[in-house]
Amino acid sequence: MRAGRWATAALALLLLCGSAARADVQVVQMWTLVSGGDGARLRALVDGFNASQGEVRVESTTLKWGEPFYTKLITATVAGAGPDLATIHLSRLPNLAGGGVLRPVTDAELAAAGLRGADFLPRQWARSQYAGRAYAVPLDMHPLVLYYNKDLAGQAGLLDASGRLKTITGMPAMTEALRAVKEKTGKAGLAMEAAQSTYAIWRLWLSLLAQQGLPVVANGQFAYGAAGETTLAAIAHWFQAGYATAGQDYPASTSQFMAGNAGFMINGVWEVPELVRGTKAGTIRFRYGIAPLPQLYGNASTWADSHGFAIPANEGRPMTPEKTRAVLKFIAYVSTHSFGWAEGGHIPAYRPVAESAAARALMPNAEYAAAAASVVYDPPGWYMGAAGPLEAIASKFLPAPLAGQLTPADALRRFESEAQRLLKKRPPRY
């Protein structure tokens, strides 16, 4: 009884101390859409930041990736109920900044946190601007790359003397490489997500159109012409010929590669941590390599996107200067510590980290670093970007030819007929 009373008193005292100490702590609510390996890395950065100082505490909430995340961010922030900070894709900036969902970040605010625009790689910094103002602080860049299983590719005669992938140039050479793996090893040539409503095909298709110098949309019209169909048909052929498995969703496609059952995988660099982890843990029993997406047409363009930090506008609830300082303090911490983020496969946007010797030597990132030179982002447009309105429509129709459910021409015709309305519509102001 007595002991119980003492314990209660001690607990009350502790709680009092706790609340007194926390009275002047700025709590920053962050919403993020990165999960899986990326999510664990971001969590480590948040924990590191929280432990590094006592004035700001970041509370991170992970929400479902894609359309649900952006819908929630948009609706919450126009109602003034959004978070203090959000991770976004820079490809969505024209949509979010143009729609009034985000609040600009001024040079003075950046400077107070010890950041300058010139600290960031120019392309990513340029993608953070809208109408001449910065609406996000870039974190990284993540291009589409070509993963390969050295054991299977070796058996298929696709490696050079040093054990690296021989350069593949041109669509026929790529198809031939996939065929060689299939015929020599009996395993799939390529692992790529191809189920209904998946995004990989859209990203690859955009890359290959860019390799032919063709934009998807120009001047409010679809601009890829006949190449759209032939390119889609060339990719669909890999599946129809049995070099790749049709109908696989994302997890099935990555586990096909991770289990050593496919020679190649076309995916973003975000799968790098899983390969690194699996190799360390011994669950991945093959040697792997990563190369930039091959030049299958006129140039070596590769689709890429970037994550960035942005401050929601929260109408009717403008951010206090103290809160802004707290948010930027966290952004500055993550930027200067983004080597940890680079270990997740991403190419950091903060130059002092990106250009450091350590980052340049980081493996396997160094193998595909060349991809950064030829990345293409989604063209600006309110309907473009990750899980944006146009991508959402494309993700429904473009996978169908891979499974042989629609012809490439039919898939593109249906895609256009549904997307037409978006092109004509003026950008929404949320």
Partner 1 sequence: MRGRRAETLSATLLLLPFMAAFILFFLLPALQTLYLSLTESSLTRTSEFVGLANYATLIQDPSFWSSLGNTFYFSLLTVIPLTALGLVMALLVDHFAARHAGASAWLQGAFFLPYVLPISVMTLIADWMLQPSSGIVNHLLGMQRAWFSDVRWAMPVVAIATIWWTVGFNMLMFIAGLRNIPREQYEAAALDGARGFAVFRHITWPALMPVTITALVLQLIASLKVFGQTYIMTTGGPFNTTRVTLHYMYETAFTQSDAGYAAAVAMAFMFIVVALGLLQALLLKKRK
Do the beta carbons of residue 242 and residue 250 sit within 8 Å? Answer: no
Query: Under rule CB under 8 A, which residues in 336-395 are in contact with partner 1?
Result: 383, 389, 392
User: For residues 89 and 329, which CB has a smaller minimum distance to partner 1 in the complex?
Assistant: 89
Asked whether position 29 contacts partner 1 by CB under 8 A, the answer is no
Site string for partner 1, 182-201 (x = CB under 8 A): -------------xxx----
CB of 195 to partner 1, least distance (A): 6
Q: Is 169 in the site for partner 1 (CB under 8 A)?
A: no
- Contacts with 110 (C-beta within 8 Å, 6 or more apart), sequence order: 116, 117, 134, 137, 328
Dihedral class, residue 38 (left if φ above 0, else alpha if ψ from -120 to 50, else beta): alpha
**Residue 78 binds partner 1, judged by CB under 8 A:** yes
Rounded Cα gap, residues 421 and 425, in angstroms: 6
Can residue 31 be called a binding residue for partner 1 (CB under 8 A)?
no
Burial of 9 (0-12, 13-18, 19+ CB in 10 A): exposed
For residue 307 the two structure tokens come to 């994550």
Beta bridge pairs of residue 134: 105, 129
Among 202-210, 290-298, 304-312, 417-425, the segment contacting partner 1 (CB under 8 A): 417-425
**Cα-based distances in Å from 387 to 17, 127, 198:** 46, 17, 10
Q: Which stretch binds partner 1 (CB under 8 A): 69-77, 142-150, 166-174, 326-334?
A: 69-77
* 233 binding partner 1? (CB under 8 A): no
Indicate whether 96 belongs to the interface with partner 1 (CB under 8 A). no
CB of 182 to partner 1, least distance (A): 20
Q: Which of 114, 163, 220, 428 touches partner 1 (CB under 8 A)?
A: 428
Find the binder of partner 1 among 71, 106, 167, 283 (CB under 8 A).
71
Query: Which residue carries 């952004």 as its tokens?
Result: 331
3-class secondary-structure state, position 313: coil
209 vs 393 by CB, closer to partner 1: 393
Whole-number Å distance between alpha carbons of 202 and 266:
12
The strand pairing partners of 295, in sequence order, are 169
189 touches 177 (CB < 8 A): yes
Site string for partner 1, 116-155 (x = CB under 8 A): ----------------------------------------
At 377, which amino acid appears? Y
User: Is-contact 171 205, C-beta < 8 A?
Assistant: no
> Looking at beta carbons only, is 46 or 406 nearer to partner 1?
406
CA distance 400 to 406: 5
The enclosing H or E element of 253 equals helix 250-258
Rounded to a whole number of angstroms, the minimum distance from the CB of residue 71 to partner 1 is 5
Shortest distance, position 62 Cβ to partner 1, whole Å: 19
Residue 242 in contact with partner 1, rule: CB under 8 A: no
Which of the residues 388 through 407 are near partner 1 (CB under 8 A)?
A: 389, 392, 396-397, 400, 403, 405-406
Q: Residue 103: helix, strand or coil by DSSP?
A: strand
Is residue 261 a contact residue for partner 1 (CB under 8 A)?
Answer: no
414 binds partner 1 per the rule CB under 8 A:
yes
The answer to whether residue 413 forms part of the interface with partner 1 (CB under 8 A) is no
The answer to the question of residue 76 lying near partner 1 (CB under 8 A) is no
Structure tokens at 209: 């159109």
- Return d(Cα 263, Cα 180) in angstroms, integer: 9
- State the Cα–Cα distance between residues 137 and 311, nearest whole angstrom: 9
Number of residues that bind partner 1 (CB under 8 A): 30
Near partner 1 by CB under 8 A: residue from 247, 340, 379, 380? 247
Contact residues for partner 1, defined by CB under 8 A:
67, 71, 74-75, 78-79, 99, 195-197, 247, 383, 389, 392, 396-397, 400, 403, 405-406, 411, 414, 417-418, 421-422, 425, 428-430
